[in-house]
Amino acid sequence: MTWAQTAERVHAIAAGLLALGVRPEERVAISSSTRVEWILADPGAMGAGAAATAVHPSTHAEETVCILSDSGSRAIFVENAVQLDKVASAIERLPGLGHAILFDPGADLPRVEGLEVLSLAELEKRGTAFLQESRAATGRRKVPLPLAVQHAVADRLVYGKIRAAFGGNLRGSVSGSAALAADIGYFFAGTGVHVLEGYGLTETSAACTVNPADDYRVGTVGEPLPGTEVRIAADDEILLRGPGVMRGYHNLPEKTAEVLESDGWFRTGDIGEVDKDGYARITDRKKDVLKTSGGKYVAPTDIEGRFKAICPFVSNILVIGDGRNFCSALIALDEAAIASWAASQELGDRTHAEIVSSPQVHELINGFVQRVNGDLQRWQTIKKFAVLPRDLDIEHGELTPSLKVKRPVVEREYAQVIDGMHEGARET
C-alpha cells in the first residue's frame, strides 16, 4: 500500500465516521493489536475531528466497558469477534456507543442488539459516498481526495474551531519548558495557530532564544534574542552570555563557579547545536550524555531517536558506551511488525525469539544501523548491536508505567550481553 493509497483510505474512514454521526471532540475507541488497520483508524478518527481512545487488546471485558463508558466513545474499532464480545457483554451500560467497526469481520457480521456492527470496508464505502455527496452539494468538481480537500474539511470541522477558541485573532504563541513534539508543532501550524518554541533558564532570566513569527522552524528553539550570545562548547554543551544571565547563585560561590565562567559565559547543562542560519536545537541534557573510555561525549537519546525514526521494526533501543571504548546497542523489536516481515521471508513458523536471533533479522537491522551511522561522527557510531529475545515491558521492571525505559535496570539485566559485545574489542 502506497502513501497515496494510505491517505485515500484515511480520508474515507474519516468521512465514514462523519457519516455515522461522529462529531468533533467526541471519542472513537480502538481495541486491537498493532496492525495496519490500527494505523489507518487512528488518523481517520482525528480526520473526523474526534479523539482516539486506545483500549489494549489484553484488557478484560469489565475494564474495557469502564474505559468506553468513561470516555463516552461514540464508535469503536475492534480487531475481531473476541474484542467485540467484550463490548457486547455489557452494551446496556454504553448508551452512547452506537457503532462497532470490525477489522476482521469473518464470513458473517455478528449481530449485537443496540449496536450497529459493520466492517472497515463498509465504513470506507460510506465515507467515499459521503465525500462525493459533499462535493456535489457544494458544486465542487470531482477530484481524487487531495490533501487540499482534506485540509479544507478539517479546517471547517476542526481547525476553524481551534482558532475560534483562541479568540480568532491569535497570530502566534510561545512554547517553552519541555520540548514540543514535532508532530504537535506541525499540527498547530496546519490549524493556523503558530507555536513559536523558545529556550531559557531560571539563571538566564527566562528567554534567551525564540523562533521568529515570520520564519519559525519546528524542532528548533529559534534564534538568540537581541544582546544574547549562544556558543557550543567542545563537548556540545550550550553556553549563553548576555544581559539576562545571572551574576551568580546567592551565597553559593562554589556552585556559581561550576556554571559561570569569568568572561560571563554560562554553562546551561544542555546539549545542542546551532545550524548555519543561527537556529538553536536542544538535543539532550549533559547529565544524560555518556562518555567513552576515549573521552568522547555521546548523546544516546539522540542516536536512539534517529534509529526509531527510520526503523519500522524497532520497539526499544538503548545505546551503550559509558566508560567503554565504543558504542553498542541493545535493540528490542516490535513483535507484530517483525512477524509480518518474517512471514514474507519464510520464517513465519518460528517463535519471536527464533525470528530475532536469525541471521536474516541481524542483516535487516544492521542495514538500519548503518544508515544511522552514516550521519554520525565516528565515535558516535554503533559498532556492535544485539537484538533482544523479547521486547522490554513493565512486568519485568524495564519500563515505567508511562513506557519510559529504565536504563539501569536494562543494563543490569543484559550485562552479560553488553560485556560480550565489548569483550576484547579495540574499536574506537
How many CB atoms lie under 10 A from the CB of residue 168? Answer: 8
In the prediction, which pLDDT does 178 show?
A: 66
357 and 363 in contact (C-beta within 8 Å)? no
The pLDDT, as a whole number, for residue 208 is: 95
- CB neighbourhood size of 415 (10 A): 10
Residue given cell 462523519 in the structure block: 18
Burial of 202 (0-12, 13-18, 19+ CB in 10 A): exposed
Residues 15 and 128: beta-carbon distance below 8 Å: yes
Query: pLDDT (tens digit, 0 to 9) for every residue of the chain, 428 residues total?
Result: 898 999 999 999 999 999 999 988 899 999 999 999 999 999 999 988 898 999 998 888 898 999 999 889 999 999 999 999 999 988 999 999 999 999 998 878 888 888 999 999 999 999 998 888 766 654 444 454 555 556 667 777 888 888 899 898 887 899 886 677 787 888 888 888 889 999 999 899 879 999 998 899 998 999 999 999 999 998 889 999 999 999 999 888 999 999 999 999 999 988 899 999 999 998 877 767 788 888 888 888 889 988 998 999 999 999 999 888 999 999 999 999 999 999 999 898 999 999 999 999 999 999 999 999 998 989 999 999 999 999 999 889 898 877 888 888 999 999 999 999 998 655 44
Q: What is the pTM of this model?
A: 0.41
Domains and CATH numbers, the chain: 3-138 (3.40.50.980), 175-286 (2.30.38.10), 290-422 (3.30.300.30)
**Residue 366: all three cell numbers together:** 544492521
Neighbours of 165 (CB within 10 A): 10
Provide the CA 176 distance to its chain's centre, in angstroms.
Answer: 19
Alpha-carbon distance of 19 to 349, in angstroms, equals 42
Q: Which residue has the cell 554553562?
A: 267
* Structure confidence at residue 139 (pLDDT): 45
| Strand ordering across the sheet containing 327-333 | 314-320, 327-333, 382-387
